[in-house]
Every structure is written in C-alpha cells, then in structure tokens.
Amino acid sequence: MSVSPLVSTDWLADKLASPDVVVVNAWLPPVGAPDTAPEYRDKHIPGAIFFDVDAISDPASDLPHMLPPTHVFSSKMRRLGIGDGQTIVVYDGMGMYSAARVWWTFRAMGVTRVFVLDGGLPKWEAEGRPLEDMPPVPRGERHFSARLDHGLVADRAKVARVLEAGGQVLDARSRGRFAGTEDEPRPGLKRGHMPGAKNLPFPDLLEDDGRLKSPEDLARAFDAAGIDRSQPVVTTCGSGVTAAILTLALAVLGHDKAPVYDGSWTEWGGRDDTPIAKGEA
C-alpha cells in the first residue's frame, strides 16, 4: 500500500462535496449490546451511506457477519449507489470499531481506494463539523464489480496450516478471553486460544478518543506482542470484526496483506475438532 489507509477529518471535510468520494457509515452493534440502535438515525456525516454489517453478510452461513459471496456484495453495493472507481471513506460512531471491518470487506472485495476516517464520528463531531439526521439524497445505481482477494481472507483450514507451520496468528481479543480465564460473550464457545497464536488486544492500538495510535506506538505494540512485521500475519478475534483493526494497524505500518480469519473464535471455539490452549501466549 503506497498511501496510508487512514484519512483525516480535514481531508474529508475538504473532499465531502466531491462526486467521486463516497462516505460510508459502518454499523455493527457491540456483541454485549445487540439491541443498540444505530446512531445514523440521529446524526451522521452529510451524505453518508448506511452500511449494516450484518445485513451485508453471507445469508447462508450460521456464523455471524461472514463475508457474502461476491455477487451478493456487488448487488448490494449497486443498490447503495457505490460503484467502481470511487474513493470510499468509512467511519463509525465509536471512533474505531466496525469501520475497520468494513474497510477490510471492501479491500477483500477488490477495492483499492478505500480508507478509514481516523477518529470517526466522535472526532468529526468534537471539531464542530456538519452533521445531518435525514436520509441522504438517493444515489442512482452504479456498476460495482467485486473480485475476491483471497490473500486478504483466511478460513479455518488456512489458519490451521499457518499454526502447524509455526507461522504468525495474532488474536485481538482481551487477555482474559485469550488466556481462557474469562467467558466468551457468545454462548456455547470454549475458553482459550489457538495453540501457537499470539495476543494483542485491539484497545492497545487505540487512543482514548478512538483514533489509532501513532505509527511508532503501533510498532511498539506489535513488537511487544512478539510479531515479526516482516513476515506474514493472520489476524483473528471473536467474530472477525476487531481482527480487522489489527489488519488496519499493520497496513498503517506498511504491512498491507494481513488476512483476517473471517470465522475467528466463533468458528474455532465452537467446534469439537479444533485444538485449544489456555494461559498466556
């Protein structure tokens, strides 16, 4: 990646009226609060398109918000008015949560000009920038062609091969969940982690206001987790959402091909045939 995957609020404010820039409000309720209402109804960046992660997922999977087939994704993007060649800027209401997942989703679907708004809605609002509480003017359908980038997506078999070969798998869950000392928020999942995986809780990469930390601080966090950034890294978490924050942070540091394990612990920890370890990495 030749440029940063992040854009600033200043940059977006300057480009907001550009017809080639599409702003996307990423939405996914926190796993512990599934009934949380989207903030989009009350306030969003002018013209932003609402992107419901669960609604734009694989309807045939029993795992949460898995990547949809490319033809399904293409169809949904066309209806939203998102097309080939546009510059997509993704943000969320927490500062950094579901935006990274949606950024990764677009990249996995072959989009190269997609970015995350650093600091998201909290920073935009704190700076007194414009907001609206009405649906944007409907966009006409545009042609969108999704082409899956297999190098950015990991399934259970790939993760197992990486671990067996002594490769790097990095888990974004909390230290207690990784060690197996805390229950999983989703019922029916075992405690612990994949044998050989390392742990870097995603909040360690964020400032208090939701922005990603400086590149220097990000590098120190990956180094402290025992990650060799010159080698391949697969990221994982509970359900493939906060793993994308690790992948985004790695992209900031120039490591732009860190695949996300889409099924993550919801798949691995919900099976009887997957090995599980407990304790710290």
* Domain carrying residue 225: 151-268
CA 189, chain centre distance (Å): 22
Does 131 lie in the same domain as 44? yes
Specify the number of domains making up the chain.
Answer: 2
Any domain includes 279: no
Does 163 lie in the same domain as 103? no
Does 255 lie in the same domain as 174? yes
Per-residue pLDDT for 78 more than 50? yes
pLDDT band at 227 (very low <50, low <70, confident <90, very high): very high
| Mean pLDDT score of the chain | 95
Does 197 lie in the same domain as 68? no
Percentage of the chain modeled with pLDDT above 90: 91
> For residue 30, which of 96, 91, 97 has the smallest C-alpha distance?
97
Any domain includes 43: yes
Within 10 A of 259 (CB to CB), how many other CB atoms are there?
Answer: 24
pLDDT of residue 1: 42
Question: Quick check: is 251 catalytic?
Answer: no
More confident residue, 182 or 280: 182
What's the whole-model pTM score?
0.96
Mean pLDDT confidence for 11-33: 93
Mean pLDDT confidence for 163-180: 98
Give the pLDDT confidence of 240-249 residue by residue, as tens digits. 999 999 999 9
More confident residue, 47 or 2: 47
Does 254 lie in the same domain as 182? yes
Sign of the alpha-carbon dihedral angle for 177, 119, 54, 257: negative
Does 165 lie in the same domain as 66? no
pLDDT of residue 280: 86
Give the pLDDT confidence of 135-162 residue by residue, as tens digits. 777 677 899 999 999 999 999 999 999 9
Q: What is the CATH number of the domain that holds 117?
A: 3.40.250.10
Percentage of the chain modeled with pLDDT above 70: 98
Any domain includes 202: yes
Question: Using CA atoms, how far apart are residues 159 and 168, in angstroms rounded to an integer?
Answer: 9
Indicate which residue of 146, 237, 248, 252 is catalytic: 237
More confident residue, 11 or 1: 11
pLDDT of residue 150: 97
pLDDT of residue 139: 77
Give the pLDDT confidence of 103-121 residue by residue, as tens digits. 999 999 999 999 999 999 9
Question: Using CA atoms, how far apart are residues 181 and 158, in angstroms rounded to an integer?
Answer: 27
Any domain includes 114: yes
Per-residue pLDDT for 274 more than 50? yes
- In eight-state DSSP terms, residue 95 is S
Does 110 lie in the same domain as 166? no
pLDDT of residue 182: 96
Per-residue pLDDT for 126 more than 50? yes
Any domain includes 274: no
